[in-house]
Amino acid sequence: MRWPGSIEKLVEEQEILAAAEPPQWHPKREPYPIGGCFICFPRGQSGSGMKGDPAWAGAAVITSDHRITSAEATGFAGAPYEAGLLALREGPLLEAAARSLPRLPEVLLVNATGRDHPRSAGLALHLGAILDLPTIGVTHRPLLAEGKWPQLARGAHTPLVLAGRCVGYWLCTRSGKRPVAVHAAWRTDPEIAVAVVLATVADKARTPEPIRQARQIARVARATAGTQSLPARDEAD
C-alpha cells in the first residue's frame, strides 16, 4: 500500500479500509514489544498548519526486557491540517520513522484516532494498514465520538460512541488526572486498546510510555536539527 496523494484518493482509501475485515490481533505472549510514534512541527506557528511545514517524527519501542529502541524521521507536512484528512499531512513521515526502527513492535500506539472518524478510518488505523501492524490510537480528546468522563481513578473507563457504535474509551491512566481517549484502530478493538494502554503507562505518568518516548525523540530532533538540516523539498509536490 502507498499513501494517497489527494483528498479524493484518501477518502476512497479510507472507505476501503473501513470496510476491511483483517484478523483481530491478540498478543501471543506477555510482555511483548510495544511501540509508539509522534510527530511535531515548529514552535510558535499560528493557525492549523500548512502544506510544507517542517516536521519531525519520532518512533520508539519498549521491549519485553524494558530496553528502548528508537528512530526519527525529518521532512515536511504533506498537506494542511484538516480534520479527517490527517493522513495526508502526517502519514508518510510517521511511516518513515516507524520503518527506521531496528525492528517493528508487535503493536503500535499512534497519536491519532482510529474508528473515531467520519469514515471510520483515521490515521492510526491507516498507518497500521500501511505497516501491516496492529495499531491503537491515543489522543487528548475524541474527534467525533461522544461519552462521559469516567471516575478519575486509574483504570476507570467509559465508552466513546459514534453512530451507536463503541469506537474507543475515555480512560483514566492516572488517578486525579483527566482521562485520555483510546481508539480501536487496525486489527484492534476498544477493549484491547484499553488493556494495552494501561500496561504501558508508568505510575506517575498520564501518557503511554512508548508515545512519551517518541514525543521526546521528535522534540529533541526539532530542537537540535533546525530547519537547515531538512531535506530539499520538491516545490512541485
**pLDDT one-digit tens code per residue, 143-169:** 999 999 999 999 999 999 999 999 999
Cα separation, 79 vs 207, whole angstroms: 27
Cell match 481508539: residue? 183
The pLDDT tens digits of the residues spanning 91-132 come to: 999 999 999 999 999 999 999 999 999 999 999 999 999 999
Decide if 80 is inside a domain. Answer: yes
Confidence of residue 64 (pLDDT cuts 50, 70, 90): confident
Of the candidates 100, 136, 114, 118, the one whose C-alpha atom is nearest the C-alpha of residue 25 is: 136
In a domain, 165, yes or no: no
> pTM of the predicted model, to two decimals?
0.93
- Asked which of 7-16, 45-54, 102-111, 137-146 is least confident by mean pLDDT, the reply is 45-54
Instruction: Kindly state whether residue 106 falls inside one of the protein's structural domains.
Output: yes
For helices 86-99 and 123-131, angle between their N-to-C axes, nearest 10 degrees: 40
Find the CATH number of the domain harbouring 63. 3.30.2170.10
Q: What is the pLDDT averaged over residues 19-37?
A: 90
Selection from 140, 186, 194 nearest residue 169 by Cα:
194
Higher pLDDT pick, 183 / 47:
183
- 88 domain residue, yes or no: yes
Number of independent structural domains in the chain: 1
Q: By residue range, what is the domain housing residue 67? A: 7-134+201-227
